[in-house]
Amino acid sequence: MSLAPQELENNASVSASEAIKFDSQGARGMAITKYQQAIDALATLMRLFPNGKMNSLYRDRCKSYHDRIQALQQAHGVDPAVDPKASDDEQKASVKRQENENDFEDLIMKEKPDVTWGQVIGLDDAKRALRQSIVYPTKRPDLFPLGWPKGMLLYGPPGTGKTMLAAATANEMDGYFINVDASSMMSKWLGEAEKNVSKLFAMARQYAEKEGKPVILFVDEVDSLLGSRNSEVGGEVRTKNQFLTEMDGVGGKGKDLMMYVIGATNKPWSLDMAFLRRFQKRIYVSLPTQEARKSLFEQYTAELRKDPEVSAADLAKIFDGYSASDIKDICQAAQIKTVDEIFSSPEYHEPVEGEEPIQPRNLTTTDFKEIMAVRKPSVSTEMIRAYHKWSNEFKAL
């Protein structure tokens, strides 16, 4: 076997593709053999190139294939993908239907996301940009003779609300919200990723064209799919080239097509420069302002028992530099702290019938300060500087 990384990666891709094919046909023995061959090729690749930047992705793939092998080996394993008594045509139709369901069932939110603009605290610039680019053209396309942006990039620290922004935008429209985790797609579909990128866009385009409804294709962790292509191999490059082609198609074919691609990333500086211009809007989703932190504390402590002295405005000042998800975690930790005191008390007992259950004491500002001492912000000052530097060069509202 050649020691070239591209050949090893291609061998793994071919084995994985064959494993998926045998698995869908109910040929468990051949599927297990091919899954193992894919694992062996990736393990060799990681051993020969221990510092390879794709190794974490390869480890995830190995685990996925190993888990599938175990599932197939248990007792009589998983039921065959097709009914052996069915006719050839029926078996082919069943396999094709399962392939489509397996690929996309977890990607489509069949109901509108249950997130409203009111639940997205702060981020006024981001909300305005998304309204201008997506919501307004959906409601009055006649007002946009030059068309409108079809690609939007939401970037910023983790936990600042990028996914909520996309969901809230979709909630305001009568359309579809297709949610894709890029890193999962790349690890799950080794040998299939390039084909499935094409199928994914074709499905979204079909909804937009045939049903005349707007479609948001939301790609989370887009940097894992569209990062720098300098040191990648085989299938990764082909998959990214396919995504680039599809993005060009969204922006160039039919200016009135109600189809949008929203990418989200915590690492915008790792994106391939060739893709940046496909995202006409590049929107910085920043840490919450003091006023936004105040609203977040009001929202998350609304149902908690707390002393009158506890002020959301004071907490907003204390927790400067914390993200929206940090603030939710802090309020949850405060609640758990008082509940723990109940269960840890020597006098605690399960309530008997007719007895009023013991309730936690009221939260105080001191409780929040104690939590702050052991729970630091998830975003460092250095990270914020990096976002500001990148924004100065590439931000596009």
Give the best-scoring range by mean pLDDT among 15-19, 184-188, 213-217: 213-217
- 127/283 Cα distance (integer angstroms): 10
pLDDT of residue 87: 55
Cα dihedral sign, 263-265-267-270:
negative
Asked if 265 and 271 count as a contact pair (C-beta separation under 8 A), the reply is: yes
Predicted confidence band of residue 222 (pLDDT cuts 50, 70, 90): confident
- 228/302 Cα distance (integer angstroms): 45
Residue 263 reports pLDDT greater than 80: yes
| Alpha-carbon radius of gyration of the chain | 25
Query: Which two structure tokens, joined as six digits, stand for 65?
Result: 């294939």
State the burial class of residue 349 (Cβ atoms within 10 Å of its Cβ: 0-12, 13-18, 19+). exposed
| Mean of per-residue pLDDT scores for the chain | 81
Share of the chain above pLDDT 70, in %: 81
User: How many CB atoms within 10 Å of residue 94?
Assistant: 16
Q: Which of 48-52, 65-69, 150-154 has the lowest mean pLDDT?
A: 48-52
Predicted confidence band of residue 230 (pLDDT cuts 50, 70, 90): very low
- 205/75 Cα distance (integer angstroms): 42
pLDDT of residue 81: 39
Mean predicted confidence (pLDDT) in 303-322: 95
Q: Which of 17-21, 94-98, 106-110, 218-222 has the lowest mean pLDDT?
A: 94-98
- 341/314 Cα distance (integer angstroms): 25
264 bridge partner residues: 154
| pLDDT tens, position by position, 161-187 | 998 898 888 888 877 888 877 766 665
Share of the chain above pLDDT 90, in %: 32
Strand runs labelled E in the chain = 108-109, 151-155, 176-181, 215-220, 259-265, 281-284
Residue 208 vs residues 142, 175, 202, 219, 248: alpha-carbon distances, Å:
17, 9, 10, 17, 16
